[in-house]
A = this chain, B = another copy of it.
Amino acid sequence: MTHPKPISRTRVTVKDLARDLGMSVSTVSRAFYPEAVIAADTRKAVLDHAAKIGYRPNPFAQSLITKKTKIAGMVVSGLTNPFYPEVMTRLTALLQQAGVNLMLAAAEQPEKIDEAVELLLTYQPDLMIVLATNLDSRAREKCEAAGAPVIFFNRLSADGLGYGVSCDNVEGGRMAADHLIDRGHRSLAYVSAFPGASTNVERQRGFCDRAVARGLPPPQIIDAGVFSYEAGYAAGLRLRELPQQPDGVLCANDIVAIGFIEALQEGLGISVPADVSVIGYDDIAMAGWPSHRLTTVAQPLDEMMAATVALARELAAERQIPQRVLRIPPGPLVERRTVRDRRVQT
C-alpha cells in the first residue's frame, strides 16, 4: 500500500559544479563547448572537477535550448532477414561512439510502423534511419517536418526521396549474371522478393539486362513476394510452373535463396548445383554454414555503415549534403557450392 519509493535521483548539476568551483554557471557551461570562449585553465578546472564528481550535462535541458537531441531514430520492422540484426547492433555501436544514441521505432507489420514513428518523433530526433522496411511518403514528410531528415539504409525510399546509403545493386545483379553466363548457364531465372524494394528491383534489372545484353533470352521471373525464408521456399516449390526449367538463378537475397534451394532439394528432388545453380545476395553468416555454402554477392557492409555514420554526422550538424544517395560498389561474389560450372570441357 505504500507506493512512494525513495529513489535518490539526485543528479549532479551545473550549479553544484559552479558552487564547488566558485564560478558562475555560465562559465561552467562554456567549458563543455570547444568553440566557446573561455580561459584554458578555467576549462581544465571545470572538466577535471566534473570528471571527479561524475557530472554529465543533462541532454534534455540542453536540447530544450539547442534544439538538437543527439538522438537518431531507427525504424525497423519484420526483420525476417538475418542481415539486419547485425546491421542494427553495429550501426548502433558506431553511432554511439560518435555520441548519438539510437531510439527504436518497431512494429511487426510494416503498416503499423507509422504510429511508432509518430511516438518517436516526440523526442525530436536529429535524424531517422530506416532499416528493413519502408516509410510511406507521408511518414517521411512528417519526420522531415519535425526536423529529422531520414536515411534509408540498404533499401532506398520507394519515392526516391530522402537520403540513402546502398550497395550498387544493379552492378551486383550484373555480376551474378556474368558469373553464371561465364560458367555456361544458358537459361536464367530471377527469384524476386518485395516488388516495392529498391534492392529487389535493382538486382533484377542488373541481372536481366546483362543476360539480354549477352545474348540470352530474358530471365524468367519467379515471384517470392517478400524477403523471407518461407517466401523463398514457397517460390522454390513453384519452379515446375515455369515454361522452361532454368539452369541458373539469382535470388533477391540470401535468405530467399536458402529457402528456395531447400524447396528444390527437399520438396522437388532437384539438385543444387547439379541440376540448377543458385546465387544469393548479402553474404549473411548463414550463407557460409556447411548446410548451405551459398554462392552469393557480398554486401560491402563496412563501407555502407561507415557511409551511414558519416552521413548521419553531417545531417546532425545540419550541413548541406551534396549527394542524397550514396552508392557503394558491391562486395565480391563469394564462390561456394551452389553454382556449377556447366561449360563443356575441351
Chain A residues in contact with chain B, CB under 8 A? 2-5, 7-9, 11, 56, 58-61, 63-64, 67, 69, 71, 74, 76-79, 82, 84-86, 88-90, 92-93, 96, 99, 101-108, 112, 116, 119-120, 122-124, 145-147, 229, 233, 259, 262-263, 266-267, 285-286, 289-291, 318-320
Distance between Cα atoms of A291 and B229 in the complex (Å): 12
The quantity of this chain's copies bound in the complex is 2
Known: A229-B285, A262-B291. A92 touches B79 (CB 8 A): no
B residues within 8 A CB of A259? 289
Q: A93-B116, A101-B103 are in contact. Are A79 and B74 (CB under 8 A)?
A: no
Q: How far is the CA of A273 from the CA of B16 in the complex (A)?
A: 67
Extra contacts besides A59-B123, A262-B289 (8): CB < 8 Å: A58-B64, A59-B122, A79-B89, A82-B82, A88-B88, A101-B123, A229-B286, A291-B291
Q: Are A103 and B106 in contact (CB under 8 A)?
A: no
Q: Which residues of B contact A104 (CB under 8 A)?
A: 74, 88, 92, 101-104
Which of A88, A96, A116, A318 is most buried by chain B, counting CB atoms within 10 A of its CB? Answer: A96
One of B64, B92, B266 near A291 (C-beta < 8 A): B266
User: A85–B290 Cα gap in the complex (Å)?
Assistant: 23
A145 touches B106 (CB 8 A): no
| Subset of 30 A-B contacts with CB under 8 Å | A3-B319, A5-B318, A5-B320, A9-B67, A9-B146, A9-B147, A11-B124, A58-B122, A58-B124, A60-B63, A60-B64, A60-B69, A77-B89, A79-B88, A79-B89, A85-B88, A88-B88, A89-B106, A90-B106, A92-B104, A92-B106, A96-B106, A96-B116, A101-B104, A101-B119, A102-B104, A102-B106, A229-B286, A259-B289, A266-B291
Across the interface, name the chain B residue whose C-beta is closest to A68. Answer: B9
Chain B CB within 10 A, most for which of A102, A106, A262:
A106
Q: Please, which residues of chain B bring their CB within 8 A of the CB of A90? A: 106, 108
**Whole-angstrom distance from the CB of A89 to the nearest CB of chain B?**
5
- CB <8 Å contact, B108 and A289: no
